[in-house]
Amino acid sequence: MRRTILFAILVALLVLSAGIATAQETQTKNMEGSTTSSSTVTARTQSNLSYRGQSEDVRPFVAWMKDTVIAPGVVVEPFFALNDYNHASGWNLGGQAGFRAAPDFETGLRWSLDHFSVDNGGDETGLSDLRGYVRYRIQPQNPQFSLGAWVDLPVGKEEVGASNFNVDLFGAMRYHLDSGLVVLGNAGIESVEKGGDNRDTGIHFGGGVIYPLSQDLSALGELNWGSASEYGLINGGLDYLVSNNGHIRASLGFGFDDGAPDLTLLLGFLLGID
């Protein structure tokens, strides 16, 4: 599986590079053939870069729900992930969505089909638990702050690690710097079911950055850890704007605790609908 993930990473990078090159070539031709004055083009570019610097349309990969951004109307992201563990591997095929219920209130869900395979053992495929979340942005100005919660409904298949009732309460922040860099943070309390009547409660925290490399391309880095879930992951990725509301996204993560994969590759397409 590790070789498969590395090969998929190479293919994803090649596809992303080709898309960026094509878009930049098209943009250059459009600018050359345009009758718009250079000052107008410069002002428009600076305006777009400023908007991308705010990165309100770019969401973190792992802390997707633990954020402050509110969907313009609806935002959906189908995704596929390849995971490599110690003596095991797996994949996830699913989607997540957020809905703007009020100017500073978002609710949404996440669900996936999961596959888990043990080396020299059996394979299992089944639905994950259904995760629903709510969050309220208590301060829309910079820095932004929000409070929220998510709950796992135990409707998934136990053999793929699901069928657990988990609860998470969190606070999140976004701070926009003049340079365009966006600093992310989250912290809270998690309650994790671990089979039968066993339940662990602990703290979690995370942080990250979003940096616009160009008008359409942003780089992301994250670190997230939970004491009860034992989920610790460092990841980095790219978000590329291919249309007014569509983003091709790719992330590579490295686990540092037992609840996270040793290596994970996530590919997604995020689409915002006003």
Q: What is the mean pLDDT of the chain?
A: 86
In sequence order, which residues have a C-beta less than 8 Å from that of residue 30 and are 6 or more positions away?
none
pLDDT tens figures, 144-189: 999 999 999 999 999 999 999 999 999 999 999 988 999 999 999 9
In this prediction, residue 1 has a pLDDT band, given cuts at 50, 70 and 90, of low
Mode of pairing for the β-strands spanning 246-255 and 182-193: unpaired
3-state helix, strand, coil in the chain (%, to 5): 20, 55, 30
Q: What is the pLDDT of residues 87-106, one digit of tens each?
A: 999 999 999 999 999 999 99
Look at residue 62 and give its three-state secondary structure: coil
Q: How confident is the model at residue 62 (pLDDT cuts 50, 70, 90)?
A: very high
The pLDDT assigned to 54 comes to 44
Q: Write the pLDDT tens digit of every residue in 5-50.
A: 555 555 555 445 444 444 444 444 444 454 444 444 344 344 444 4
pLDDT value at residue 244: 80
Q: How far apart are CA 128 and CA 93, in angstroms?
A: 10
Three-state DSSP at 33 gives coil
User: Which positions ≥6 away from 167 have C-beta within 8 Å?
Assistant: 149, 150, 151, 152, 190, 191
Q: Give pLDDT, residue 6.
A: 54
The answer, as to whether pTM is greater than 0.75, is: yes
Compute, in degrees rounded to 10, the torsion defined by CA atoms 95, 55, 209, 170: -60
Whole-number Cα distances in Å, 161 to 150, 158, 193, 203, 254:
18, 5, 11, 21, 20
Report all structural domains of the chain as residue ranges with CATH numbers, in order of start. Answer: 2-273 (2.40.160.40)
Q: How confident is the model at residue 243 (pLDDT cuts 50, 70, 90)?
A: confident
Query: Within 13 Å and on the Cβ side, how many CA atoms surround 112?
Result: 22
